[in-house]
């Protein structure tokens, strides 16, 4: 059976995306094999107590910055060998908190400085670059504001600089608030995959390993030799570590040295962090891959793995392509089973490639506690699926060269489930990406219906996981949004403007929910009136091909006639020069006669007339057999015509107009919220609160 050009194009996109995603997935399993097969060779040497500068880059971290400084000053290391730099670019209460903390520790004999650049140029990378100009120690340790290094950190980490070519030791991240919510549990499991599989595999081989931006120690000479900190990307850590390894330096991962940190608990903060990582990785790919490719001293396998690591976030746009393509292909009756028409093997393949393999990896990673971690896997699958929209936008931002802005991930000092953060400063509002997540969620509901009504229910759970993910991420983004001023830490009564903002926020939330419900209802109604009748018609045509009873065939044709009348009501008419209606076609750009429903209706009428005549002819006559063969051939052709027309029913003029209006209304609500937020920001700046 021939496939129409549009469906063929979508099918090609679907297959290409599947191949690329599978390749990246298999590479992760290859790294898993390396991390398990190759035993750790972590040598140490007696290093004494060399001089170390501990750099603490912070920006508006009043809930956690003091905790970090306290932990660093509690390190079991000689005060005269340890210099502490608080690189404070803050513009809120954090400045006063840090000034007081630094002053207090100075009186206790610590070599600690509160460094204020007076600018945020270059963001975190700019602060680190500035600090290197006044750093004179042999080693440099870096901690972000939400980390809590143990007191033995330096004494256990520094001895791993046992060889002269080791330029970095990266320690594993712990999760001090892992059990706070489903979001933090999913993030913790994802980070553990990164550290215990990817970092471990690369550290124990000749593959490039990246610095994670914190909980690591650099050799000063390595930073200088690699060209220092650059501010061209959003992931200065990845950039510097790759440049260092291109120079021949070795980076080492220490899985047994765990530094606890606070995971983002607000969905909008987690999305911001993921956005920065995704965009920064693609930026580094553009910046570094050319140099890595021509570097002779870099092994071929290391070049391949560098390409995979720096470009792996393109998996997210490919996931969305597959998500959009799958319902179209199912509606077009394209066979997508792994083994032709064996649904059980298809779902088994998906399970083996995804959850099944990850369960085995979890068992190897956590040993006795693996069952507890395995329970988190469904949350991680939903979480990652839902983030695909956010990370896709980040990828396109990087590819299109959109201006960088380092937006930090706010932390609240939240450690237990009983701690509340929603009235704290730094709470982030949802962004326009949430609109896209809602769109994909509604589209997913339609996809699930299509998979069921097209007799392909095996694909419903595959579409369903992503659909749940989109709605979950969107819901959490909305529910975690607050209009909250960030600069004042003193409780006070709300102003008239803030009360109005809260009122607008509540009305907007109700409006968005109403629009989503209305959009979902219209999508289901539209499917029932435009698409499902075509599915029924194909079923009736299959019934005609499968029988030789004229009465049964006539009943099928009459039902097809009813469904045609339902579908044709919503199709625009095409008239000739005399004003006569000559066509009703869902293909409104370059329509063809094969998808002309008026012609299809005429064919059905002709078949009804033919079957009435055939029913009067003896069944053992040649006329009867010839007539039945003609009916079967025409039914098969009509089925192909209907299948060709089905994808275009989704992109009808009315659907496009409705979708545009639906999106425009939500954008209008977003615009109202942003306008109110800007008014509050302006008020903050003019009143100085």
Catalytic residues: 89, 237
Nearest C-alpha neighbor of 619 from the set 550, 541, 542: 550
Output the six-digit token pair for 175: 């999760």
- Determine the Cα–Cα distance for residues 515 and 661; give it in Å rounded to an integer: 11
Stated as kind and residue range, the H or E segment containing 8 is helix 5-37
Span between the terminal Cα atoms of the chain, in Å: 70
Q: Which residue has the tokens 């395995």?
A: 374
Nearest C-alpha neighbor of 1 from the set 11, 193, 114, 582: 11
- Determine the Cα–Cα distance for residues 234 and 221; give it in Å rounded to an integer: 23
Note whether 425 and 62 are within 8 A (CB): yes
Q: Which residue has the tokens 């670019």?
A: 89
- Partner residues linked to 57 by β-bridges: 87
Output the six-digit token pair for 39: 């035993």
- Partner residues linked to 56 by β-bridges: 86
Q: What angle do CA 281, 286, 288 make, to 5 degrees?
A: 85
- Determine the Cα–Cα distance for residues 351 and 18; give it in Å rounded to an integer: 15
Note whether 185 and 175 are within 8 A (CB): no
Note whether 531 and 646 are within 8 A (CB): yes
- Determine the Cα–Cα distance for residues 537 and 560; give it in Å rounded to an integer: 5
Output the six-digit token pair for 569: 């009501």
Q: Longest C-alpha distance within the chain, in Å?
A: 112
Note whether 436 and 421 are within 8 A (CB): no
Q: Is 484 exposed, middle or buried (0-12, 13-18, 19+ CB in 10 A)?
A: middle
- Determine the Cα–Cα distance for residues 199 and 193; give it in Å rounded to an integer: 9
Q: Calculate the CA dihedral of residues 562, 568, 574, 575 and round it to 10 degrees.
A: 40
- Determine the Cα–Cα distance for residues 321 and 443; give it in Å rounded to an integer: 13
In angstroms, what is the C-alpha Rg of the chain? 31
- Determine the Cα–Cα distance for residues 125 and 15; give it in Å rounded to an integer: 40
């Amino acid at each position: 059976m021939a496939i129409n050009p549009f469906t063929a194009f979508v099918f090609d996109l679907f297959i290409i995306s599947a191949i690329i995603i599978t390749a990246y997935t298999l590479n992760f399993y290859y790294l898993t094999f390396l991390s398990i097969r190759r035993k750790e060779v972590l040598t140490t040497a007696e290093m004494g107590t060399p001089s170390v500068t501990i750099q603490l880059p912070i920006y508006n971290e009043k809930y956690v910055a003091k905790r970090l400084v306290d932990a660093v000053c509690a390190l079991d290391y000689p005060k005269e060998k340890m210099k502490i730099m608080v690189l404070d670019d803050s513009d809120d209460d954090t400045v006063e908190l840090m000034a007081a903390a630094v002053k207090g520790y100075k009186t206790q004999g610590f070599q600690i400085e509160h460094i204020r650049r007076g600018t945020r140029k270059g963001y975190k990378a700019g602060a680190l670059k500035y600090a290197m100009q006044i750093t004179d120690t042999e080693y440099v340790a870096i901690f972000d504001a939400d980390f809590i290094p143990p007191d033995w950190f330096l004494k256990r980490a520094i001895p791993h600089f046992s060889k002269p070519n080791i330029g970095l030791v990266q320690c594993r991240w712990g999760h001090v608030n892992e059990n706070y919510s489903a979001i933090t549990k999913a993030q913790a499991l994802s980070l553990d995959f990164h550290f215990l599989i990817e970092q471990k595999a690369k550290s124990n081989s000749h593959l490039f390993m990246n610095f994670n931006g914190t909980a690591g120690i650099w050799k000063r000479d390595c930073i200088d030799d690699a060209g220092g900190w650059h501010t061209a990307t959003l992931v200065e850590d990845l950039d510097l570590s790759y440049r260092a390894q291109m120079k021949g330096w070795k980076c080492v991962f220490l899985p047994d040295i765990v530094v606890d940190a606070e995971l983002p608990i607000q969905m909008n903060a987690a999305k911001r962090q993921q956005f920065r990582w995704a965009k920064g990785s693609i930026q580094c790919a553009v910046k570094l891959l050319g140099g890595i490719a021509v570097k002779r001293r870099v092994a071929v396998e290391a070049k391949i793995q560098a390409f995979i690591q720096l470009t792996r976030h393109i998996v997210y746009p490919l996931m969305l392509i597959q998500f959009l393509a799958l319902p179209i292909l199912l509606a077009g009756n394209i066979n997508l089973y792994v083994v032709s028409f064996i649904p059980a093997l298809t779902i088994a393949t998906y399970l083996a490639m995804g959850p099944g393999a990850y369960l085995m990896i979890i068992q190897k990673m956590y040993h006795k506690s693996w069952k507890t971690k395995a329970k988190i896997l469904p949350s991680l699958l939903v979480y990652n699926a839902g983030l695909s929209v956010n990370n896709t936008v980040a990828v396109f931002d990087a590819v299109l060269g959109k201006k960088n802005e380092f937006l930090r991930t706010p932390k609240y000092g939240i450690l237990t489930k009983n701690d509340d953060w929603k009235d704290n400063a730094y709470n982030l509002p949802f962004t326009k990406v949430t609109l896209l997540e809602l769109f994909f969620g509604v589209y997913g509901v339609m996809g699930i219906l299509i998979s069921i009504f097209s007799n392909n229910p095996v694909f419903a759970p595959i579409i369903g996981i992503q659909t749940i993910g989109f709605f979950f991420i969107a819901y959490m983004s909305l529910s975690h949004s607050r209009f909250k001023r960030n600069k004042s830490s003193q409780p006070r009564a709300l102003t008239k403007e803030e009360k109005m903002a809260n009122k607008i926020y509540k009305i907007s939330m109700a409006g968005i929910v109403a629009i989503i419900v209305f959009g979902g209802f219209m999508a289901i109604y539209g499917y029932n009136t435009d698409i499902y009748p075509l599915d029924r018609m194909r079923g009736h045509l299959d019934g005609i091909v499968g029988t030789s009873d004229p009465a049964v065939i006539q009943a099928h044709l009459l039902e097809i006639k009813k469904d045609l009348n339902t579908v044709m009501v919503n199709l625009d008419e095409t008239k000739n020069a005399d004003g006569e209606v000559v066509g009703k076609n869902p293909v409104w750009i370059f329509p063809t006669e094969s998808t002309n429903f008026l012609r299809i209706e005429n064919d059905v009428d002709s078949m009804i007339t033919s079957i009435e005549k055939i029913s009067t002819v003896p069944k053992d006559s040649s006329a009867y057999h010839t007539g039945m063969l003609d009916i079967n051939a025409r039914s098969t052709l009509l089925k192909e015509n209907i299948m060709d027309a089905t994808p275009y029913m989704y992109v009808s003029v009315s659907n496009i107009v409705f979708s545009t209006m639906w999106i425009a209304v939500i954008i209008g609500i977003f615009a109202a919220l942003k306008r109110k937020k800007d008014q509050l920001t302006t008020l903050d700046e003019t009143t100085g609160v």
